[in-house]
Amino acid sequence: MITIDDVKHLASLARLSVPEAELDTFVKEFDGILEYIGQLEKLPIFMDSTPVVPPLHNVFREDGEPTPVGTNTKTITSAFPHKKGKLLSVKKIL
């Protein structure tokens, strides 16, 4: 059972000001909340003392031979509409 002093203490911890007229309302609401949460204690939960560890597997692809430098350079640079030598122009992204 929560008391008015408990509500005042919780309000001070949360740096809230609770009017005296609303303290009784908060006591009733907190009791209802705690009673509702207390239903969790009644749930039948059977715990085995051995923790269950899921099997691990590698989700990354296998490393292979890397693509040689410059293999796709001509294909990529030909797609740019504006270029001057080795400089490529792109739209502003703001």
> Do 30 and 2 touch, CB atoms closer than 8 A?
yes
Convert the pLDDT of each residue in 12-23 to its tens digit: 999 999 999 999
Using one digit for the tens of pLDDT, what is the confidence trace for 36-76? 999 988 888 877 777 778 888 888 878 788 888 888 888 88
CA dist 88 and 90 (Å) reads 7
The rounded distance, in Å, linking the Cα atoms of 31 and 40 is 15
Cα dihedral 16, 17, 23, 26 in deg (nearest 10) = -30
